């Protein structure tokens, strides 16, 4: 099987792995789901309803609850549907709703005769959230323009509104986030990246935004304050997973470019003594830099930093895959050496090494494959076969 196919498979593997950096949305926000504006604009009917009974689980465990429609906010369907007939509708919910909810009715692809043609979902809502749903800009507007509206609602006192604003930013491409960053209060961002009470899943986005603000502002003292806030957040000791830490690291790279990469090097993140979880966060930040910051950090510096992580057992396999995706073949000797060191008891490292060597066009890679085949042809073939398949989830 040709090296090009191995490279394609390795690229697919890193893109679909849990540590990979999505290209089209915030890579540091986790899974955010649909925003309320998306649900509203995709719905045939949006309505306000009142819970008309308890929530019950269906045969596969999804919760459904009956609601009485009080007011239609938008949309129209014919009188055969429950919303027009005046009867209660059954809506899917994530948890029991007590009182008012906003309901979204989407047209079912197929419905049994006499059944409601709409499939309903509901979100508990007070007057504030209902106003938010009604006023949120349409999804057809430019992403940056929409984010500027949601920027003021990050960390809103209403948790549902704050969560929805975060979702909007989490779904947006980096270019739109960057264009709207100046609409977010920079002093608030400086506080949010370290504040214990902030939902830690949002810290990655706030770190990234703070880096953008630091880079874009024309006020040198403001830039320094943003950088200092990022450094404090990064340097704060932690024993947990540090959710969003990759966004803080990426924020430094956005704010300071190559100097930011040097700062992370000086802080010891590239050393084998660094925490394994922190190095996984660093790999995520480096992937983001490769995709989005090539104009600020030379890609050779990014791949060199990635190659340094080959010495770290916990991330070596991922680093090999990233180097193959970057088509950086300068590390071929170090990658091949992993087979004899860390690869002895780690099939993931053997798979990554075999795939890298198969994809590498240099003669030295062919020589290394021949060497490994001479050591154990069956083991090498097993690793080559694994490298040519999507990684198991």
In DSSP notation, 276-331 reads HHHHHHHHHHHHHHHHH-TTTS-HHHHHHHHHHGGG-TTTHHHHHHHHHHHT--TT
Distance CA 181, CA 90 (A): 40
Q: Closest Cα partner for 134 from 46, 45, 193?
A: 46
Are 188 and 331 in the same domain? Answer: yes
Distance CA 105, CA 92 (A): 10
The average pLDDT across 110-119 equals 63
Question: For the chain, what is the domain count?
Answer: 2
pTM score of the predicted model: 0.86
Task: Print the SS3 string covering 244-257.
Answer: CHHHHHHHHHHHHC
Are 212 and 355 in the same domain? Answer: yes
Of 87, 102, 133, which closes a domain?
A: 133
The average pLDDT across 81-94 equals 73
What integer pLDDT is reported at residue 86 of this predicted model? 57
Q: Tell me: pLDDT of 111 over 60.
A: no
DSSP string, 215-228: HH-S-HHHHHHHHH
Q: How many alpha carbons lie under 13 Å from residue 342 in its C-beta half-sphere?
A: 22
Distance CA 152, CA 162 (A): 9
Are 41 and 161 in the same domain? Answer: no
Are 69 and 161 in the same domain? Answer: no
Element holding 270 (H helix, E strand): none
Please give the angle made by the CA atoms of 206, 207 and 213, to the nearest 5 degrees.
85
Query: Residue 393 domain-assigned?
Result: no
Query: Residue 296 domain-assigned?
Result: yes
Q: What is the CATH number of the domain that holds 126?
A: 2.40.50.120
Among the listed ranges 101-115, 253-267, 336-350, 378-392, which one has the minimum average pLDDT value?
Answer: 101-115
Query: Residue 160 domain-assigned?
Result: yes
Pairing of strands 56-57, 89-93: unpaired
The average pLDDT across 171-178 equals 94
Of 133, 155, 172, which closes a domain?
A: 133
The burial of 375, by beta-carbon neighbours within 10 Å (0-12 exposed, 13-18 middle, 19 or more buried), is given as exposed
What integer pLDDT is reported at residue 327 of this predicted model? 95
Are 352 and 204 in the same domain? Answer: yes
Q: Using 50, 70 and 90 to split pLDDT, how confident is the model at 110?
A: low
Q: Tell me: pLDDT of 113 over 60.
A: no
| Domain enclosing residue 45, as ranges | 36-133
Are 232 and 83 in the same domain? Answer: no
Are 181 and 318 in the same domain? Answer: yes
Q: How many alpha carbons lie under 13 Å from residue 201 in its C-beta half-sphere?
A: 11
Are 163 and 46 in the same domain? Answer: no
Q: Closest Cα partner for 211 from 172, 178, 173?
A: 178
Among the listed ranges 73-87, 160-174, 284-298, 367-381, which one has the minimum average pLDDT value?
Answer: 73-87
Pairing of strands 118-124, 100-107: antiparallel
Are 143 and 126 in the same domain? Answer: no
Highest-confidence segment of 87-96, 251-260, 380-389: 251-260
Question: Which comes out higher in pLDDT, residue 152 or 116?
Answer: 152
Are 255 and 295 in the same domain? Answer: yes
Are 48 and 180 in the same domain? Answer: no
Query: Residue 392 domain-assigned?
Result: no
Distance CA 118, CA 332 (A): 57
Q: pLDDT exceeding 90 applies to what percent of the chain?
A: 76
What integer pLDDT is reported at residue 80 of this predicted model? 43
Of 106, 133, 160, which closes a domain?
A: 133
Q: Tell me: pLDDT of 285 over 60.
A: yes
The average pLDDT across 233-255 equals 90
What is the pLDDT of the chain when averaged over all its residues? 88
Count of CB atoms situated within 10 Å of the CB of 114: 6
Are 205 and 103 in the same domain? Answer: no
Digit-coded pLDDT (tens) for 286-308: 999 999 999 999 999 999 999 99
The average pLDDT across 91-109 equals 92
What would the two tokens of residue 83 be?
């919303």
Query: Residue 79 domain-assigned?
Result: yes
């Amino acid at each position: 099987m040709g090296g090009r196919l191995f490279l394609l498979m390795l690229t697919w593997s890193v893109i679909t792995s849990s540590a990979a950096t999505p290209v089209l949305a915030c890579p540091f926000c986790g899974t955010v789901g649909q925003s309320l504006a998306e649900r509203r604009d995709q719905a045939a009917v949006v309505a306000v309803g009142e819970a008309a009974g308890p929530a019950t689980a269906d045969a596969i465990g999804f919760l459904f609850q009956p609601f009485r429609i009080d007011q239609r906010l938008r949309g129209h369907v014919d009188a055969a549907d429950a919303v027009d007939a005046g009867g209660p509708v059954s809506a899917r919910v994530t948890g029991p709703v007590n009182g008012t909810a906003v309901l979204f009715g989407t047209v079912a692809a197929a419905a049994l005769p006499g059944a409601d043609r709409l499939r309903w979902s509901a979100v508990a809502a007070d007057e504030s959230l209902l106003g938010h749903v009604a006023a949120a800009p349409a999804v057809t507007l430019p992403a940056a323009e929409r984010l500027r509206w949601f920027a003021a609602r990050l960390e809103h006192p209403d948790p549902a509104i704050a969560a929805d604003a975060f979702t909007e930013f989490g779904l947006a491409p980096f270019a739109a986030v960057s264009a709207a960053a100046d609409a977010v209060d920079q002093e608030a961002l400086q506080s949010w990246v370290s504040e214990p009470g902030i939902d830690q899943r949002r810290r990655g986005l706030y770190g990234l935004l703070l880096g953008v603000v630091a880079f874009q502002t024309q006020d040198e003292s403001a830039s320094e304050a943003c950088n200092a806030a990022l450094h404090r957040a990064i340097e704060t000791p932690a024993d947990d997973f540090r959710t969003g830490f990759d966004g803080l690291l990426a924020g430094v790279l956005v704010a300071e470019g190559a100097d930011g990469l040097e700062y992370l090097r000086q802080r010891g993140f590239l050393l084998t003594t660094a925490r394994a979880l922190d190095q996984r966060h660093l790999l995520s930040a480096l992937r983001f830099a490769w995709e989005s910051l090539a104009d600020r950090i030379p890609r050779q510096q990014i791949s060199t930093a990635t190659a340094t992580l080959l010495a770290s057992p916990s991330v070596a396999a991922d680093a090999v895959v990233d180097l193959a995706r970057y088509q950086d073949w300068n590390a071929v000797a170090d990658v091949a050496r992993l087979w004899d060191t860390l690869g002895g008891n780690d099939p993931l490292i053997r798979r990554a090494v075999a795939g890298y060597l198969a994809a590498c066009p240099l003669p030295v890679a062919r020589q290394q494959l021949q060497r490994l085949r001479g050591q154990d042809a069956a083991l090498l073939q097993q690793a080559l076969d694994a490298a040519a398949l999507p990684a198991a989830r």
